[in-house]
Amino acid sequence: MDIQGKVVLITGASEGIGAACAARFRERGALLALMARNRANLERVAAGNGLVIAGDVTADDDRRMAVDATLDRHGRVDILINSAGAGLYAPAWQAPLDTVRRMYELNFFGALGMIQRVVPHMRRQAGGCIVNVSSIAGKVTLPWLTLYSASKYALGSLTDGLRMELRGDGIHAMSVCPGYVSTKFQDHMLMGSPPAKVRDSNWFRVRPEECAEAIARGVEKNARTVVTPRAGWAFVALERLFPGWIDRRLEAIYRRGLAS
């Protein structure tokens, strides 16, 4: 898809990957609609060049408002980037269910709600692209992030199904699976903290600007899945080929984290 002149609606656009996407897609000539709860940060990201929509992606009224405002301003939505998300560091058998539900409302149901709002319009215009920001943790389960991994696996499966459901309508769906992105992700944890070895390592670390560039290129190429950094593909392949070995390596990191 040629991004020039396309209308791009981005959730979680006030910082991190969402904000970086705003910059990269603006450079390619896109018209931006930016959604997040923090209006001040959104104004900074928009820099006077984009529609600012202060709203909570977990609230259906706010999702409707965001899509309606974008349509009122631009008349269409060509690309939806579901970037809003949060993590949770806690054993699956121990995490409070209300906290888990909060995470799923943001990571999965918020994205699904936005998709259900924009797809009817994309079908009428006979084209569009849905980008769901998942994680390498949505390809390989990380035991210190089991429930987050599960939410991202669900988002990836949703994306694959949408691609098949909507191909006949000219709508493409793409998963994005970043490694450890240098953002304020840790500051927004719903619970817990990562093992020190994970927090301090450079394994598959990527800057948000690099991730956003990979997303933009993926949209241009109609990619099915974008893994960034590309070295993350090797990790995914190893898990497929040697799942027991990867399990033991990840478990060792997890156990050391518990002991520290």
Q: Are 137 and 148 in contact (CB under 8 A)?
A: yes
Q: CA 203 to CA 253: how far, in whole Å?
A: 13
Q: Is 148 a catalytic residue?
A: yes
Say if residue 65's pLDDT is above 70: yes
Distances (CA, A) of 112 to 57, 118, 186, 240: 10, 10, 24, 28
- Tokens representing 2? 């040629």
pLDDT for residue 183? 64
Each residue's pLDDT tens digit, 78-87: 999 999 999 9
Say if residue 50's pLDDT is above 80: yes
* Residues with Cβ within 8 Å of residue 195, at least 6 apart in sequence: 144, 253, 254, 256, 257, 258, 260
Mean pLDDT over 84-95 rounds to 94
pLDDT for residue 160? 98
Domain definitions of the chain by residue range: 7-259
Residue 130: pLDDT band by 50, 70, 90 thresholds? very high
Which one of the listed residues 89, 104, 148, 153 is annotated catalytic?
Answer: 148
Residue in this structure with the two tokens 């923090």, named with its chain if needed: 38
Q: Are 166 and 160 in contact (CB under 8 A)?
A: no
**Percent of all residues in the chain with a pLDDT value above 90, rounded to a whole number:** 84
Q: CA 137 to CA 172: how far, in whole Å?
A: 23
Mean pLDDT over 25-45 rounds to 96
- What is the architecture of the domain spanning 7-259? 3-Layer(aba) Sandwich (3.40)
- Tokens representing 113? 């709600």
Say if residue 109's pLDDT is above 70: yes
Mean pLDDT over 108-135 rounds to 98
Each residue's pLDDT tens digit, 148-205: 999 999 999 999 999 999 999 999 999 999 988 876 666 667 877 766 666 666 667 8
Q: What is the mean pLDDT of the chain?
A: 93
Residue 89: phi and psi, rounded to 5, are: -100, 100
